[in-house]
A and B are shown apart, each in its own frame.
Chain A
């Protein structure tokens, strides 16, 4: 057995929660605010619904092929060669998102610590994520179980301290430009929420697979609420125009906190928890791509793959875009469509074929009777 760990429902939720918050909180808010303004809040809600549909599809597939990750069952569904092809697409997608997260985190840290070269961060992050990935799914799940409460506590603390700065009149009006831009904008968070197709990898190790949908959606809803809270806070404290011009409005948001000249500079708390969550994300993706590759080639052990994949990951995140500006362009114009075609498209394709197979099997059996 490649991985004989089991994770609990609670751990599943916290894993999904941390992956979502770490991946969306940094880069998404300014872009989303630029696209949809005050309606960003609605866009997030729509994204949750889109993600719910994908989750339902994957939930169905996971129940249909119990104790199998979707690297394994895509072969069962599509046949050997096309199945492997689909698996390769999933794995490279995970690697791409991991690389994007590493790059995103490193880009952000370089703005805080300008004297440190980008490469140092990328390599250090990859090494740490490789170490965590070697621990396996149980270790990852337990880490997320410890970090998630800390994260939530930190966010609640920051939000409470921001309350005096908020001006809720800025949150309105909604639907200033009608529904269309909202729906278009919702593709952006949806594409990031969509990384939850990682659930199809984790579901095989969930100790109660039949509950996966509930725990997964709990994680997504929790993650989306944090994003919503931060968006509302951004709008209410900074205003849409200002926030959408900043690269990292949430960081600036945290910097606004100043209470009685004593509680100041608490943005460091936010950076700390955000980094912790970020490590969970990149290590999960790293782990999943190593595990998936091992399953793809029928290996007995995934650990030897972790470091080579890490080298790929580091170079990938270095090369993925030349500078932060083209990064924004990539995330805004290329990534959503690319991601959604895999998260929505490929999974739906798998689902439809599996459904057809199931029905024809049933029909065939009935006919034979």
Chain B
């Protein structure tokens, strides 16, 4: 009785599931594992069924040879394939240069492939699904009557943006090329900068609908295999509808889904990515976006600009300290000001305290409200300016900064000191090269200000302790986020708290556990006499 009931129950559940399509369903357009048949007409009908009546899909039917003519068809997507290429090297050779005798009912495929198609990359494919993906990626599929095989000719040539200087990551010195939206060009850029045979590029397709090509690039022998394996695992785990930018991957891959801190570094600069690869990191390139992400990521990477390595190292060191200071100021300055003004009057020298109090005289708000008002105004200005066309953006900043700011002070709504603090905080935040990290500090400033207003300095320290505790729990692909500070590694610190000259950076970062940790031999430091220092 019980068995019967459970069976009945199972049947009902199955029936419901089927009705709602919960069981994995074969896509209606392409049946799985469907292969080509020998008959051209059937193959074309199948392709047509799968691709639909889209206007950009071209099916050109023609015949090869004369005795007897062999029917063939070329399928490609207009706009993704280079028409001159197709005309010159596929159609012309097949229609005009082909010998009269090509094999009749059993055409000689190898002859076509070896003698007629003057295209660099030709592949044979039987699987309909793969053929469709290939066609949609810009290849042309040559279908020949009597052959259950399609010849995929690489005729990809679409209009793409030329290689130009990255907009978000400019620099004075250093290579000026930037990644573009095409994966192939990007991998080529990597190869241009890194001609080592050990540079490996693995490609996979992610996104069930967008079918986006994603490539992992690394240097064999320098990368830590464990990290690489983790990256592969994480990518293969992703089962999503669409990948439109590398940022999708950032949120879908391993790590801490709730942290506000950026856990992935990205760059548009090939030189930066190559430098990361040579440190033992793994780069992930996504087709359709110029932003390449690099893992594992540590916090201090966001303070390193690629230009640091191209200028005098003393200057770079100084700039790094300046950025760290800017980062801390952008996080703490408004809250410290609030704490001092509202709670710890005694902490600042008397003359300064009097000056500040004088400036605040007649202001109707408490310091917290004043600060929040100004911060929100500032953030709105910044946000308003980001996406506006350039000429309009300038107008916003003039109206916002000059007119409103000045008027607010004159009207006695905010004190000039607060304007200085907020403006300086904004400028300080721009010193950090990564705007990703700046977004985070912009946001974290607000809880910090609240804590400062309620608990003063101890409140600020409490929020800092919580932040620090959070940061120390973060790990990126097994590498602690705050390394090399914690866990401490003196050797790595010379590229974090300083920028050591190239002759002193003998080893790759310890935290990445590279199997080949030595970058170069010692004794590279140039001397006056030109001899090695230990000779």
Contacts and interface: CB of A to CB of B under 8 A. Distances in A.
Contacts of B469: 131-132, 135, 139-140, 143, 283
Interface in B418-469: 455-459, 461-462, 464-466, 468-469
A69 B446 CA distance: 41
Contact of B468 (A120, A125, A146, A271): A146
Mostly helix, strand, loop or mixed at chain B's interface?
helix
Interface in A119-166: 120-121, 124-125, 128, 131-132, 135-136, 138-143, 145-147
A184 interface: no
B465 A146 contact: no
A252 to B, nearest CB: 14
Contacts of A142: 472, 480, 482, 486-487
A229 interface: no
A265 B473 contact: no
B485 A146 contact: yes
A264 B351 CA distance: 12
B121 interface: no
Mostly helix, strand, loop or mixed at chain A's interface?
helix
Contact of A124 (B455, B464, B473, B482): B455
Interface stretch (B39-47, B176-184, B341-349, B392-400): B341-349
Given A120-B455, A265-B348, A146 B486 contact: yes
B487 A128 contact: no
Contacts of A125: 462
Contacts of B466: 128, 131-132
A333 B466 CA distance: 35
A113 interface: yes
A183 interface: no
A37 to B, nearest CB: 31
Nearest to B483: A142
A10 interface: yes
A143 B471 CA distance: 9
A124 B462 contact: yes
B458 A121 contact: yes
A142 B487 CA distance: 6
Interface stretch (A43-51, A272-280, A336-344): A272-280
Interface in A1-57: 8, 10-11
B492 to A, nearest CB: 14
Could you say which interface size class chain A belongs to? Answer: 35 or more
Contacts of A140: 469, 472
Given A143-B486, A145-B486, A271 B465 contact: no
Interface residues of B, number: 27
A109 B473 contact: no
A132 B344 CA distance: 27
A264 B464 CA distance: 24
B124 to A, nearest CB: 51
A268 interface: yes
A116 interface: yes
A132 B469 CA distance: 5
Given A8-B487, A120-B455, A142-B482, A272 B461 contact: yes
B248 interface: no
Contact of A146 (B343, B461, B473, B482): B482
B3 to A, nearest CB: 37
A154 to B, nearest CB: 13
B347 A268 contact: yes
A11 B473 CA distance: 15
A10 B483 CA distance: 14
A146 B348 CA distance: 27
B339 to A, nearest CB: 10
Given A271-B457, A272-B457, A145 B349 contact: no
B488 interface: yes
A199 to B, nearest CB: 19
A279 B480 CA distance: 21
A283 to B, nearest CB: 8
Interface string B462-501: 1011101110110000001010011110000000000000
Nearest to B468: A143
A113 B456 contact: yes
Contacts of A265: 346-349
Given A132-B466, A142-B487, 8 more contacts: A8-B487, A113-B344, A121-B458, A135-B473, A142-B480, A145-B486, A265-B347, A268-B347
Interface of B: 343-344, 346-349, 455-459, 461-462, 464-466, 468-470, 472-473, 480, 482, 485-488
26 contacts: A11-B487, A113-B456, A116-B455, A124-B458, A132-B466, A132-B469, A135-B470, A139-B469, A140-B469, A142-B472, A142-B480, A142-B487, A143-B469, A143-B486, A145-B486, A146-B486, A261-B349, A264-B349, A265-B346, A265-B349, A268-B347, A268-B457, A272-B457, A272-B461, A279-B461, A279-B465
